[in-house]
Amino acid sequence: MLDKSESICNHCSVGCNIEVGSRKQTLRVIKPKENESVNKYFICDKGRYAPHAADSSDRPLDVYINGTKEAELNHDAGKLLKETLQNDFKYGGILGSEREDLISNVTLKELSEELNVPFSSFNDSDVEDKVKLAVSLSANSPSIDDIEVADCIFIVGEITEQATMLDLAARQALKKEVPVYLINSAPTLFAELEKKYSNLKRLSIPTNEINDELTKIKNQNDDDGFHGNLQNDIANANKPVILGMVDSLSLKGIQLLNEINENFEKSKLGFALPASGSYGAALVSQPQSCDKLLTSIENGNLKTLLIVGNDPLSGNQRKRWKNAIAKLEKLVVIDYIYSETAKEANLFLPSTAHVERNGVLINFEGRVQSFEASYKKELPLFDPEGLRKSLSSNVQTKINEFLNKLFITKPSVKSQGVLLTAAQIKSLINTSHINFKEVKTSNGINVEVYRWFGEESVANFSKEISSLSPQKNVLISKEIIEDNKGTECYEVKLKNNGKEIIMPFKVSKQLPKNSIALQKEKLNELNIFELSNIQLEFIKPLFTDASQSNNTGGY
Ligand code: SF4
């Protein structure tokens, strides 16, 4: 017999309900749990398999000191954290995470206020602003049900890869022959449906040109073609839905989507956020919290940094974080993956995995949902709930006061969750400081992030799960291959800022012109930050291998 519990998937911001089956302190199975208001009876493959990272052979269950396992000491993670907070934290700072749940982030926030040290839940100041803006504009977000019954849908970004169950809902609408419009920059499985459904209209443009297209749509200044048809179809629809993927949009793009939405009386606007805890992280963090935390470290004002469930050294601002971390005297990382940041920690403390925790998540539409642990390992792991209970009554009161702004009674795991109101969101999110700076553009080859729909920050660290990822090719638009005489080649050398890698490649029919798409880990290897000057050189094979082809498989 399995021990069963009711939980919420934490592998994207949709917040699907799941049933967790465990036995002997190990995860055995994840099944969908019915919730009419969210995922009905379904979950995606990522939701089914990614939680098994909890039982990965790579999962760290020991304390590490300066990268060395201290298993034989059998340290108690909770006790070691308390010692750190008592002894080393006068000049400390705390970094929570978008993949930690609301209770964990609120606990860390209130702890930071008690200790009078800076706190953020974000490792990227641009992402922090984007998530806060998107959340502040999500008061009338469509549910999965609204998407399924929509009579016109406009999507910006790679929906399958960033919010798979929203893709599934949009497919239901496609099948009913309603007009669906998609703007994508990187390849997405959803775009493949254009081969089957003529009612799917698509525009493929580089990320840095999305705002120009959204401005045309907002100004209604293009009467025929994609823009004009989209405007007419939304205007004539009774239940139109607009969906933006925050990872694919700039701040300005998020604002433009809202302005487009305001042009139409009946449309609903929603955003898929970067992670399951993004919504809660936005409510908890003060304005510009990430930048303030980083600046404090850079100015030498902090000696110790506590990071819980975050991996800033794998994020877009990793260069800045690397330099900042080098200035610290002590880095303490708590996590259930041994991330790039965990490897740099002076003290690493293992934590409970998501399926081993109780907590609260807020999904993309602002639905507050509780989840419960399926089992507890008989190991002294750090647990956010344990930390909360160990804090003084004064801090616990403040945690409860904060949570009371969101719900008087925590929604039960058996309920369908509770939607936040526009007034609640407005009282907790301040976007007045946001600077809508224009995105810098590069004149060279356009580089996009290629996401596999099964990848995600936790699952990627489990070799059993990441091994399911399709072969790691670079995707290249057709004319680059033709212009550079690459048609008879199978591999390409990519060079950027003194780094180079050789990879197999595939032609992508979906990519915009003059573009390539690479998985995030390869972008990191090539040191590609905001602007790149990537160069490529096709490698001629010595012999022709009839079994290989560079013209298939890429989408
Ligand atoms: S759509 Fe997102 S929340 Fe739902 S099962 Fe898939 S990964 Fe989990």
Query: Residue 206 pLDDT > 70, yes or no?
Result: yes
Cβ distance 7 to 32 under 8 Å?
Answer: no
Distance from Cα 50 to the centre of ligand 1, integer Å: 10
| Structure confidence at residue 530 as a pLDDT band (50, 70, 90) | low
Cβ distance 54 to 353 under 8 Å?
Answer: yes
Cβ distance 337 to 351 under 8 Å?
Answer: no
Residue 9 beta carbon below 6 angstroms from any ligand 1 atom: yes
Which among 256-265, 311-320, 369-378 has the top mean pLDDT?
Answer: 256-265
Place of tokens 């702004």: 405
Which tokens belong to 378?
């008989």
What does the pLDDT read at residue 220? 81
Query: Residue 497 pLDDT > 70, yes or no?
Result: yes
| Rounded distance between C-alpha atoms, residue 473 and residue 427, angstroms | 46
Count of all residues that appear for the chain in the document = 555
| Structure confidence at residue 254 as a pLDDT band (50, 70, 90) | very high
Distance from Cα 500 to the centre of ligand 1, integer Å: 35
| Residue of 19, 30, 43, 364 to mutate, ligand 1, most atoms within 8 A of C-beta | 43
Q: What are the start-end ranges of the E strands in 328-380?
A: 330-335, 347-350, 359-362, 367-371
What does the pLDDT read at residue 157? 97
* Closest residue to atom 4 of ligand 1, CA basis: 16
When pLDDT is averaged across residues 13-29 and rounded to a whole number, the result is: 93
Place of tokens 């904060």: 402
The amino acid that residue 129 corresponds to is D
| Structure confidence at residue 21 as a pLDDT band (50, 70, 90) | very high
When pLDDT is averaged across residues 24-37 and rounded to a whole number, the result is: 92
Distance from Cα 165 to the centre of ligand 1, integer Å: 6
When pLDDT is averaged across residues 38-59 and rounded to a whole number, the result is: 90
Residue 159 beta carbon below 6 angstroms from any ligand 1 atom: no
When pLDDT is averaged across residues 153-179 and rounded to a whole number, the result is: 96
| Range with lowest mean pLDDT among 112-126, 280-294, 438-452 | 438-452
| Range with lowest mean pLDDT among 141-150, 416-425, 455-464 | 455-464
Ligand 1 atom closest to residue 8's alpha carbon, by position in its atom list:
3
Tens digit of each residue's pLDDT (9 = 90 or more) over 226-241: 999 999 999 999 999 9
Query: Residue 330 pLDDT > 70, yes or no?
Result: yes
- Mean pLDDT over the full length of the chain: 89
What percentage of the chain has pLDDT greater than the value 70?
94
Largest Cα separation within the chain, whole Å, is: 73
Residue 359, burial from CB neighbour count under 10 angstroms (0-12, 13-18, 19+): buried
When pLDDT is averaged across residues 291-307 and rounded to a whole number, the result is: 95
Residue 12 beta carbon below 6 angstroms from any ligand 1 atom: yes
What does the pLDDT read at residue 373? 93
| Range with lowest mean pLDDT among 81-85, 249-253, 264-268, 276-280 | 81-85
Distance from Cα 318 to the centre of ligand 1, integer Å: 27
Distance from Cα 76 to the centre of ligand 1, integer Å: 33
| Residue of 39, 44, 361, 451 to mutate, ligand 1, most atoms within 8 A of C-beta | 44
Domains of the chain: 1-57+360-374 (2.20.25), 60-122+285-352+383-407+424-428 (3.40.50), 131-272 (3.40.228.10), 446-539 (2.40.40.20)
Contacts with 265 (C-beta within 8 Å, 6 or more apart), sequence order: none
| Rounded distance between C-alpha atoms, residue 129 and residue 439, angstroms | 14
Which tokens belong to 181?
């419009």
Sheet with 418-419, edge to edge strand ranges: 359-362, 367-371, 418-419
The amino acid that residue 407 corresponds to is F
| Rounded distance between C-alpha atoms, residue 424 and residue 194, angstroms | 40
Query: Residue 545 pLDDT > 60, yes or no?
Result: no
* Closest residue to atom 8 of ligand 1, CA basis: 47
* ipTM of predicted assembly, 2 dp: 1.00
Query: Residue 316 pLDDT > 90, yes or no?
Result: no
DSSP 103-166: HHHHHHHHHHHHHT--EES-S-HHHHHHHHHHHHT-TT---HHHHHT-SEEEEES-HHHH-HHH
Tens digit of each residue's pLDDT (9 = 90 or more) over 367-423: 999 999 988 888 888 888 888 888 889 999 999 999 999 987 888 898 889 999 999
| Rounded distance between C-alpha atoms, residue 463 and residue 205, angstroms | 34
| Structure confidence at residue 331 as a pLDDT band (50, 70, 90) | very high
* Closest residue to atom 2 of ligand 1, CA basis: 12
Query: Residue 178 pLDDT > 70, yes or no?
Result: yes
Distance from Cα 138 to the centre of ligand 1, integer Å: 19
* Residue whose C-alpha is closest to residue 287's, from 429, 423, 173, 390: 429
| Rounded distance between C-alpha atoms, residue 333 and residue 348, angstroms | 5
When pLDDT is averaged across residues 342-370 and rounded to a whole number, the result is: 95
The amino acid that residue 487 corresponds to is T
| Structure confidence at residue 88 as a pLDDT band (50, 70, 90) | confident
Angle (CA) 154 155 161, round 5° = 160
Cβ distance 331 to 346 under 8 Å?
Answer: yes
* Residue whose C-alpha is closest to residue 131's, from 256, 249, 291: 249
Residue 104 beta carbon below 6 angstroms from any ligand 1 atom: no
What does the pLDDT read at residue 440? 59
What does the pLDDT read at residue 221? 72
Contacts with 109 (C-beta within 8 Å, 6 or more apart), sequence order: 96, 119, 121, 284, 285, 402
What does the pLDDT read at residue 526? 83
Distances (CA, A) of 216 to 116, 228, 240, 409, 512: 47, 9, 19, 46, 18
362 beta partners: 368
Residue 11 beta carbon below 6 angstroms from any ligand 1 atom: yes
Residue 43 beta carbon below 6 angstroms from any ligand 1 atom: yes
Burial code (b: 16+ CB inside 10 Å, e: under 16) for 142-177 equals bbbebbbbbbbbbbbbbbbbbbbbbbbbbbebbeee
Query: Residue 48 pLDDT > 60, yes or no?
Result: yes
